[in-house]
Structure 1
Amino acid sequence: MLNKPRILVVEDESAIADTIVYVLANDGFAPEWCATAEAAIAAFGRQRPDLAILDVGLPDLNGFQLFKSLQALPGGGEVPMLFLTARSDEIDRVVGLELGADDYVGKPFSPRELLARVRAILRRSGRNPSSSAPVLPFELDEEKHRIRYYGNVLELSRYEYGILRLLLQKPGRVFTREELLAQVWDDASDSFDRTVDAHIKTLRAKLKAVAPDVDPIRTLRGTGYALQDGLPPRPGS
């Protein structure tokens, strides 16, 4: 019998924690709840989890400080982590992702969305024994700056290639518009969010021309974009 993936839940609001623990347990996970960063560090040290869910607003340390503390523990850098945040300032979300977190979920959140994010992270990390590796019908040739999609070479502009290449590096991971601008454009200060949106639109059109029934790019309204981490092995399958 396979062991249930262990999920460390660090959340000081008991009502939210109860919901998270309930949905995780009912979906085949083994959650452990800690209400403080201190308790989380102790629990992490006793037994490393398969994934940690960290609230940004904790009473003793903030989630970012806790993230760094957990990463410094033996094996901490190998554990994927997801932030929960109620903050409306997008810079906090960007900071969390730049620290190296695998994803974040904003409050209020849908339990189904949280479960989907947890499963996606575990699939990518290879820590979910009941899951299979995501199917990605892309072939990246960095030397030739070329990407194949379902065997077809995509005719991409420089920035379309840069966006898709970045999304392919971490399927399922949400990249904010600011991150895409900073990592793909030469001078992000001269560009705007709508520049990213326009290039995503043309990129989507080229992907749709190859596989009309598949939409590999997921949009998080007001935040950014992510590559779907599970796609059919061929169009229409």
Structure 2
Amino acid sequence: MEKRILIVEDEQELQELLEYTLVKEGYLVTTAGKGSEVLNRIEAFKPDLVLLDLMLPELSGYELCRKIETDPNLRGLAVIILTAKGTETDRITGFELGADDYVTKPFSLKELILRIKSILSRTERGKGAILSVGGVIIDNQQHLVFKNGKKAYLTFAQFKILSTLAAHKGRVFSRHQLLDLVWGEDVIVSDRAVDVQIKRLKDRLRQELGAENLIQTVRGVGYKIEPQY
């Protein structure tokens, strides 16, 4: 089945270039030029991934990220931020708002395609298994995480990290290993991105499922889930 991508970009020339490139790569594509159009586009088009500019008229990309992150029906939607704001602080803010990846302008179209394929292929490879850790059920096919009837709605990156750690209980994964598993070896992402996603993941598990201390930090090494879970 063809994957669907929503391009949210107010620069007409760049929007058209991205649309042409992604259609040529075999994706189904629709576009939005204003932030206020995005949620309706998502509901109608049901994209697998959103390419999101931050500086948009009427409703900013920051606010849209926040809405996607806090909407239980949208949290599993993959989001790649496209922006000229490229400081480390900007990147960390993007990840804290729930983005799965962050690409600064100007960017290489080839690199962007690699990042898109990396995220979408990992969504596919995660399907088909149900895992259980500490009473938390992880359904890779439905992209669901729940405990005692309560659901936690995670971003793609958070879900992939949890699923990976749960499938290898007792094994410590370094930040670099998690970066490669979630974003791919060909994509350059800061180690801080993993720390941000882990913190957000722990918060979600604690607040929404009451699952405390499921993920352990091994100081100076990485992260793991204890075998007894």
Q: What TM-score, normalized to structure 1? A: 0.57
Name the amino acid aligned to 2:124.
G
1:150-229 maps to which residues of 2 (within 5 A)? 162-167=174-179, 170-172=182-184, 175-179=189-193
Q: How far did residue 75 of structure 1 move?
A: 2.4
Over the aligned positions, Cα root-mean-square deviation in angstroms equals 3.3
Note the residue ranges of structure 2 that are not aligned, 5 or more in a row: 126-163, 199-220, 222-229
Look up the match of 2:7.
Answer: 9
Deviates more, 1:7-16 or 1:105-114: 105-114
Q: How far did residue 58 of structure 1 move?
A: 0.9
Name the amino acid aligned to 2:190.
T
Q: What TM-score, normalized to structure 2? A: 0.59
Q: Distance in 1 between matches of 2:95 and 2:65?
A: 11
Q: 1:46 to 1:52 in 2, by over 3 A?
A: same
Q: Distance in 1 between matches of 2:30 and 2:85?
A: 24
Name the amino acid aligned to 1:170.
V
| Structure 2 contact 115–183 (Cα < 8 Å) conserved | no
Name the amino acid aligned to 2:175.
I
Q: 1:90 to 1:29 in 2, by over 3 A?
A: same
- Is 1:125 equivalent to 2:123 in the alignment? yes
| Structure 1 contact 83–103 (Cα < 8 Å) conserved | yes
Q: 1:183 to 1:49 in 2, by over 3 A?
A: closer
User: % of aligned pairs identical?
Assistant: 32
Look up the match of 2:58.
Answer: 60
Q: Distance in 2 between matches of 1:26 and 1:104?
A: 23
Look up the match of 1:36.
Answer: 34
Name the amino acid aligned to 2:91.
R
| Structure 1 contact 5–29 (Cα < 8 Å) conserved | yes
Larger Rg: 1
| Structure 1 contact 44–70 (Cα < 8 Å) conserved | no
Look up the match of 1:156.
Answer: none
Q: Distance in 1 between matches of 2:117 and 2:171?
A: 34
Please list the CA deviations of residues 96-148 of structure 1 after superposition, one character each: whole Å capped at 9, or x if unmatched.
12222111111011111111111111111129xxxxxxxxxx99955364xxx
Q: Return the match for 1:108 from 106, 118, 123.
A: 106
Q: Distance in 2 between matches of 1:113 and 1:124?
A: 17
Look up the match of 2:207.
Answer: none
Look up the match of 1:87.
Answer: 85
SS of alignment partner, residue 46 of structure 1: helix
Look up the match of 1:25.
Answer: 23
| Structure 2 contact 4–27 (Cα < 8 Å) conserved | yes
Look up the match of 1:189.
Answer: none
- Is 1:143 equivalent to 2:170 in the alignment? yes
| Structure 1 contact 9–21 (Cα < 8 Å) conserved | yes
Name the amino acid aligned to 1:176.
S
| Structure 1 contact 103–174 (Cα < 8 Å) conserved | no
SS of alignment partner, residue 170 of structure 1: helix
Please list the CA deviations of residues 63-122 of structure 1 after superposition, one character each: whole Å capped at 9, or x if unmatched.
121112234446211211100010132211111122221111110111111111111111
Note the residue ranges of structure 1 that are not aligned, 5 or more in a row: 128-137, 146-160, 185-202, 204-237
Q: Distance in 2 between matches of 1:162 and 1:181?
A: 11
SS of alignment partner, residue 120 of structure 2: helix
SS of alignment partner, residue 12 of structure 1: coil
Deviates more, 1:10-19 or 1:69-78: 69-78
